[in-house]
Amino acid sequence: MNMSGLNIKILHETFGTLLDETFVNQIQFKLFLKMVQSSIEMKTDLTFFNGVDFLVHIPHKHLVNSIVMTKLDFYSLTDHLINKSKIEAEVTK
């Protein structure tokens, strides 16, 4: 069974790939994109912690010098179970 996922990738010229995450839930993807966009517009650092095991902190000076790309990915159910996004964790503390 094939599924679709929404991917965001943030690439920096010096540091390489800063973030590469795939979301299954479209609403969470949209919220994360809005968070990235607001960090750029409001000139603040991009910081996110899911409460368990995923933390990303990208200083504003590096975020504005990065390329942000999104795409729709297709993958199998097995791929999904192996690579489930840590941002979409079911359990948070």
Note whether residue 92 is domain-resident: no
User: Token pair of 87, please?
Assistant: 């941002």
Note whether residue 90 is domain-resident: no
pLDDT tens per residue across all 93 residues of the chain: 667 789 999 999 999 999 999 888 889 999 999 999 999 999 999 999 988 888 999 999 999 999 999 998 776 767 666 666 666 666 555
Note whether residue 88 is domain-resident: no
**In terms of residue numbers, what domain contains 48?**
2-82
Buried b (16+ CB within 10 A) or exposed e, 25-38: eeeebeebeeebee
Note whether residue 29 is domain-resident: yes
Note whether residue 59 is domain-resident: yes
CB 19 within 8 A of CB 56: yes
Q: For the chain, what is the domain count?
A: 1
Note whether residue 87 is domain-resident: no
Q: Give Cβ neighbours of residue 50 (< 8 Å, ≥ 6 apart).
A: 86, 87, 89, 92
